[in-house]
């Protein structure tokens, strides 16, 4: 860890520091999440994050980057993603353009040589010139290796890429180096903190899993979700916050296709705030349910239970919370 003197990872000194630092930039962490980040730094291993959509997998990387003030380099995976898009590419157009511009110069130079082998030798010199870092287009992976103070490398939705790409990632992730045949091996100045996310579209290979720390982020509990919504939505009253989170939590327990994620809770909270509602009420919930649930069948499944769920969300509300000094926008 002595090598980190110049890197931007210094704040990662303890698990508490990570939790506090992430909270500064509005990311409410859990013990598991902070531990994973701490270990990722300490063991120099990538973190593989799994979990349902919209629970803050990608956001963790973004928040880390904001807190540590490091560049976030994102590689979005998709079927057919290959080395050229992920690692590096030769600037073919530029190479070609240069040869065209230098055509005459080249002719002169080659013209000077008196025989074929000599001119071939001269040409070979230029080839090295054209395959130099100057013509190298750094894609996310290479880019992340070249950051002076380290970086957060986010490899998003790795499960959408092909197996071949996954295998290719292994080299990059285990040694933090990439080999470019024409130039040689490029080693990371400061290894990036790598975060991979997966929605489990397909099972990832064991080899990749073995190289990563595994973190599962599930739906948050009541307290954490309240804190998250508070951090994201300005000026929400305690009453409403408490009620709506309780409502969302009970919706998640129902048997529906797509359970609402944190992102949807936040959207819903903003919606209710815009509508100036100060507490949940059946009609409001009915009107805005489409913010929370994204499938027609889910809305239909929940609708008959709305009166009961709203009653439960409001009914068990403890009187103490409501009496706070938060401004009521309603």
Partner 1 sequence: MERQISNFIRALRSADVKVSTGEALDAARTVAMIGYGDRALLKDSLACVLAKSEAEKDVHDKLFDLYFAASNQRSSAQSEAGEREDSSEDGESGGQDAADAAEQMIALTQPGNEQALATAVERAAEAAGLNDIRFSTQTAYYAQQMVRAMGGEALQARLLEALQRSGAEADADAQRMIDARRALTMAARERAERAFEVFGAGETEKFRDEVAATKRLTALEAHDMARMKLLIAKIAKRLAVKHSRRRKKTSRGILDVRRTMRANAGYDGVPFNVIWRQKKKDRPKIVAICDVSGSVAAYVRFLLLLLYSLKEVIPDLHAYAFSYRLGDVSGILEENEFDGAMKKILREFGLGSTSYGQAWSDFKTDHETVIDRRTTILVLGDGRSNYGDPRLDLFSGFAGRAKQTIWLNPEGPGLWGTGDSVIPRYAPYCKQMSHVATLKDLERALDEILTSYS
Residues that bind partner 1 (CB under 8 A): 15, 31-32, 35-36, 39, 42-43, 45, 48, 50, 79-80, 82, 92-93, 96, 100, 162-164, 202-203, 206, 209-216, 297
C-alpha span between 21 and 254 (Å, rounded): 35
- Comparison of 189 and 209: residue with beta carbon closer to partner 1: 209
- Comparison of 43 and 323: residue with beta carbon closer to partner 1: 43
C-alpha span between 235 and 97 (Å, rounded): 57
C-alpha span between 95 and 93 (Å, rounded): 5
- Comparison of 301 and 314: residue with beta carbon closer to partner 1: 301
Minimum CB separation of residue 236 from partner 1 in Å reads 31
Minimum CB separation of residue 32 from partner 1 in Å reads 5
Minimum CB separation of residue 259 from partner 1 in Å reads 15
Minimum CB separation of residue 70 from partner 1 in Å reads 22
- Comparison of 118 and 214: residue with beta carbon closer to partner 1: 214
Looking up tokens 């797509």, which residue turns up?
258
Minimum CB separation of residue 135 from partner 1 in Å reads 15
- Comparison of 112 and 127: residue with beta carbon closer to partner 1: 127
Question: What six digits make up the tokens of 269?
Answer: 């909270």
Phi-psi group of 98: left, alpha or beta (phi > 0 → left; psi -120 to 50 → alpha; rest → beta): alpha
- Comparison of 179 and 200: residue with beta carbon closer to partner 1: 200
Exposed, middle or buried: residue 69 (CB in 10 Å: 0-12, 13-18, 19+)? exposed
Minimum CB separation of residue 277 from partner 1 in Å reads 34
User: How far from 90 is each of 128, 132, 138, 140, CA to CA, in Å?
Assistant: 13, 9, 9, 14
Q: Around Cβ 125, how many Cβ atoms within 10 Å?
A: 9
Minimum CB separation of residue 203 from partner 1 in Å reads 6
DSSP string, 139-167: -HHHHHHT-TT--EEEEETGGGS-HHHHH
- Comparison of 31 and 275: residue with beta carbon closer to partner 1: 31
Nearest one of 101, 67, 100, 73 to 87, comparing CA atoms: 73
C-alpha span between 241 and 263 (Å, rounded): 15
Minimum CB separation of residue 35 from partner 1 in Å reads 4
C-alpha span between 73 and 151 (Å, rounded): 7
User: Which H or E run contains 197?
Assistant: strand 193-198
Looking up tokens 């739906």, which residue turns up?
219
- Comparison of 31 and 183: residue with beta carbon closer to partner 1: 31
- Comparison of 214 and 308: residue with beta carbon closer to partner 1: 214
Minimum CB separation of residue 43 from partner 1 in Å reads 6
C-alpha span between 60 and 47 (Å, rounded): 11
Nearest one of 305, 50, 4 to 199, comparing CA atoms: 50
């Amino acid at each position: 860890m002595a090598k980190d003197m110049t890197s931007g990872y210094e704040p990662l000194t303890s698990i508490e520091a990570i939790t506090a630092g992430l909270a500064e930039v509005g990311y409410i962490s859990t013990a598991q999440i902070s531990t994973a980040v701490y270990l990722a730094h300490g063991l120099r291993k990538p973190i593989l994050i799994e979990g349902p959509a919209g629970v803050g997998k990608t956001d963790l990387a973004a928040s880390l980057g904001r807190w540590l003030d490091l560049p976030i380099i994102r590689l979005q995976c998709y079927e057919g993603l290959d080395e050229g898009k992920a690692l590096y590419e030769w600037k073919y157009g530029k190479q070609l353009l240069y040869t065209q511009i230098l055509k005459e110069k080249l002719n002169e130079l080659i013209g000077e040589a008196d025989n074929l082998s000599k001119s071939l030798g001269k040409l070979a010199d230029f080839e090295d010139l054209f395959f130099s870092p100057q013509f190298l287009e750094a894609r996310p992976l290479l880019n992340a290796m070249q950051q002076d103070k380290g970086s957060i490398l986010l490899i998003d939705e790795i499960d959408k890429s092909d197996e071949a790409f996954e295998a290719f990632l292994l080299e990059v992730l285990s040694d933090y180096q990439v080999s470019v045949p024409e130039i040689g091996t490029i080693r990371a100045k400061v290894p990036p903190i790598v975060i991979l996310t997966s929605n489990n579209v397909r099972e990832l290979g064991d080899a990749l899993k073995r190289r990563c720390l595994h973190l599962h982020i599930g739906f948050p509990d009541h307290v954490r979700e309240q804190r998250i919504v508070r951090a994201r939505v300005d000026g929400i009253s305690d009453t409403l916050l408490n009620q709506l989170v309780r409502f969302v939590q009970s919706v998640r327990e129902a048997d529906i296709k797509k359970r609402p994620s944190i992102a949807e809770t936040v959207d819903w909270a903003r919606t209710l705030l815009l509508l100036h509602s100060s507490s949940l009420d059946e009609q409001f919930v009915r009107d805005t349910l489409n913010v929370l649930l994204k499938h027609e069948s889910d809305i239909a499944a929940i609708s008959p239970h709305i009166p009961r769920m709203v009653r439960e969300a409001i009914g068990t509300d403890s009187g103490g919370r409501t009496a706070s000094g938060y401004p009521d926008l309603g």
